[in-house]
Amino acid sequence: MQEKWISIGKMAEINHVSIATLRLYDEMDLLKPAYIDPESKYRYYTIEQNARLDLIAYMKDLGMSLKEIQNVLNNENIDEIEEILSRKKEQIYQELRTLKARLNLVDDSIARIERYRNSPKTGICSLEYISRRYIYGIPCSHDFYQQGILGYEKDLLCLRDDLIKKGLEQTYSYNVGTSIAKEDIEKGKLVAKDIFIFSDHKIENLPMRIIDASMFVTLYLSSFEDENEGIKKLIRFCKKNNYAIAGDYLCEVITEFNIFDVSKRNMFLRIQIPVKFY
């Protein structure tokens, strides 16, 4: 046996791969043994073959599959390597965009929990400055102010279906809101207009509308069933203080705690009307 031969076990050890990996590379013609003992069928390599292993490891680190590496090495085509790496680059960028979107969702969820913990006492109207927000939604198909929670659930399903078709995760719909048109709220008419998601930032590839920063008359509620009476309370508060209604009424689901009651939605709401002063 020549001294230059390296056993498969030693070759695996010095290159930090498994024996099974070297056998797989042999089967795929990625790295053939330099010598196979005709009697024992044992595989042997040379130190020069480390360069080939290094190249395979490098390509794997770039995200290339073994099949892609096999094609590249067999074809010896530098253009093919560039094409594969360009695809990998776009794939990585997409993964980064997905991770960034999930990070934003986590940040939004933490902010909503903090807002819940620091919210005023429920049932008390107050003036509150709310920063710019972005919304995306669809028209309501059910008037849940008359039909109750069942109508809301149906519209929420429609919104989630729409978001999923646009490639967004369902998690976005956990910060949901609804609206009543300014013209209706001024008349005291409770007619559902839109159902939408809130965000503090733009969501990529989603046509979002801006709710400008403004002063709002707000009221915090701990139940969906309290919303109708809460809206009337907001309207009375505006009239009493001579506040002019400046836009659509909004209902924002700050958070839900269905883990405590699985039989129904346990929503904590911030209902709000933008106002201006005479």
Q: What is the pLDDT confidence band of residue 257, given thresholds at 50, 70 and 90?
A: low
What is the pLDDT averaged over residues 65-93? 86
Q: What is the pLDDT of residue 17?
A: 94
C-alpha–C-alpha distance, residues 224 and 114, integer Å: 20
Residue with tokens 């794939």: 91
Total residues found in the chain within this entry: 278
What is the pLDDT averaged over residues 40-50? 92
Among the residue ranges 23-37, 82-96, 153-167, the one predicted with the least confidence is: 82-96
What is the pLDDT averaged over residues 75-95? 85
Which of 3.40.50.12780, 3.40.50.720, 3.30.2320.80, 3.20.80.10 would CATH assign to domain 121-277? Answer: 3.20.80.10
Joined together, the tokens standing for residue 248 give: 């659509």
* Domain 6-76 identical in fold to domain 121-277: no
Q: What percent of the chain has pLDDT over 70?
A: 96
Nearest to 22 by CA among 57, 67, 63: 57
C-alpha–C-alpha distance, residues 167 and 29, integer Å: 40
What is the pLDDT averaged over residues 254-271? 71
The 3-state secondary structure of 34-48 reads CEECCCCCCEEECHH
Q: What is the pLDDT of residue 25?
A: 95
Q: What is the pLDDT confidence band of residue 210, given thresholds at 50, 70 and 90?
A: very high
Is pLDDT larger for residue 193 or for residue 4?
A: 193
Question: Residue 238 in contact with residue 270, Cβ under 8 Å?
Answer: no
- pLDDT (tens digit per residue) in 154-205: 999 999 999 999 888 777 777 899 999 999 999 999 999 999 998 888 887 8
Is pLDDT larger for residue 3 or for residue 142?
A: 142
Question: Residue 221 in contact with residue 123, Cβ under 8 Å?
Answer: yes
Q: What is the CATH number of domain 6-76?
A: 1.10.1660.10
- Domain residue spans in the chain? 6-76, 121-277
Is pLDDT larger for residue 259 or for residue 165?
A: 165
- pLDDT (tens digit per residue) in 100-148: 878 887 887 787 788 777 777 888 999 999 999 999 999 999 988 888 8
Q: What is the pLDDT of residue 138?
A: 96
CA distances from 171 to 3, 20, 219 (A): 62, 42, 25
The whole-model pTM stands at 0.65
Is the pLDDT score of 261 beyond 60?
A: no
**What's the distance, CA 172 to chain centroid?**
7
C-alpha–C-alpha distance, residues 245 and 5, integer Å: 87
Q: What is the pLDDT confidence band of residue 263, given thresholds at 50, 70 and 90?
A: low
Q: What is the pLDDT of residue 87?
A: 86
Q: What is the pLDDT of residue 141?
A: 94
What is the pLDDT averaged over residues 203-222? 92
Average model confidence (pLDDT) across the chain:
88
